[in-house]
Amino acid sequence: MTDVQQYAFDYQCPEQALANRVILVTGAGDGIGKAVALDLARKGATVILLGRTQEKLEAVYDQIKAEGGAEPAMAPVNLEVARPQDYEELANLFEKEFGCIDGILHNASILGEITPIEQYGYSTWETVMQVNVNAAFYLTRALLPLLMKSDDASVVFTSSSVGRKGRAFWGAYAVSKFATEGLMQVLADELENVSNVRVNSLNPGATRTAMRALAYPAEDAGTLKAPSDITAPYLYLLGPASTGITGQAINAQPR
């Protein structure tokens, strides 16, 4: 195990470690994204909550405010249909509001079908690629100028075990996660030594969420970690403890 992986597992985030950082989380209304957004706010970050279901974003917003966190921002965006121009407009809004962005957690994804390639639906394939890959590229590209303005920015892409070793029937989801790893590696290499932006990927591992239940309907969800149990490596990668770490593919849980 690498030192970075060990640090990520063992990380205990100090109070206010994320203070004065503006961090955008996609898919912040539910599952892992929600748990990470709440913990980022608990550690002092100003969180931009991006997701497609306004009511879910509002619930997370209200919880952060009720816990005394910094005023979050909400960005209701459907990644399936948003076009590059929409992300440019968002970037302009964020620039006016915050000046710079210190982190992005690309967390939102969809599963698509669990089925052989031979029968995989064409339109499902395109939708999975749009949400899981193209949207992450559009958002990253639009926000790069704002990340460059930060003294210490971190981009985290969410991977999966099937994005590191392909497995039968995981179709577009697995392929999208390989593409995610590729985007992470290319971007990390481009930005290393010429910017303050680091770029890494994180595989959350089996976690009790709606997506996991969809993928494994017969599983006893009680045996799985809850999203709130696995946030430490996210805080590590998005906060100051990982400054200088880039191009790494990390796991949030031991396998």
CA dist list (Å): 144 to 23, 65, 190, 226: 13, 28, 12, 32
Q: Which residues on neighbouring strands pair with residue 48, listed in sequence order?
A: 24, 73
Q: How far is it, in rounded angstroms, from Cα 139 to Cα 82?
A: 10
Residue number with CB closer to ligand NAP (82 or 188): 82
**Residue nearest ligand NAP, CB atom distance:** 31
Residue with tokens 């009680």: 222
CB of 194 to ligand NAP, least distance (A): 28
Our CB check for ligand NAP shows the closer of 185 and 251 to be 251
Cβ(104)–Cβ(139) under 8 Å? yes
53 is an interface residue for ligand NAP by CB under 6 A: yes
Nearer to ligand NAP, 135 or 150 (CB): 135
How far apart are the C-alpha atoms of 20 and 167, rounded to whole Å? 41
**Can you tell me which of 134, 140, 160, 185 binds ligand NAP, judged by CB under 6 A?**
160
Residue carrying structure tokens 């999966």: 160
* Beta strand 22-26 pairing with 46-51: parallel
Query: With respect to ligand NAP, which residue has the nearer C-beta, 33 or 103?
Result: 33
Answer yes or no whether residue 211 interacts with ligand NAP by CB under 6 A.
yes
- 78: contact with ligand NAP by CB under 6 A: yes
Q: Does 75 bind ligand NAP (CB under 6 A)?
A: no
Instruction: Return the DSSP state at 30.
Output: S
Nearest to 114 by CA among 219, 218, 221, 215: 215
b/e 66-78 (16+ beta carbons within 10 angstroms → b)? eeebbebbbbebe
Among 42, 43, 52, 198, binds ligand NAP (CB under 6 A): 52
The interface region with ligand NAP, picked from 89-97, 185-193, 203-211, 229-237 by CB under 6 A, is 203-211
Of the residues 87, 138, 173, 234, only one is catalytic, namely 173
173 part of the active site: yes
158 binds ligand NAP (CB under 6 A): yes
- Name the site residues for ligand NAP (rule: CB under 6 A): 27, 29-33, 51-53, 56, 77-80, 107-110, 131, 158, 160, 203-204, 206-207, 209-212
Which residues participate in catalysis according to the annotation?
Answer: 173
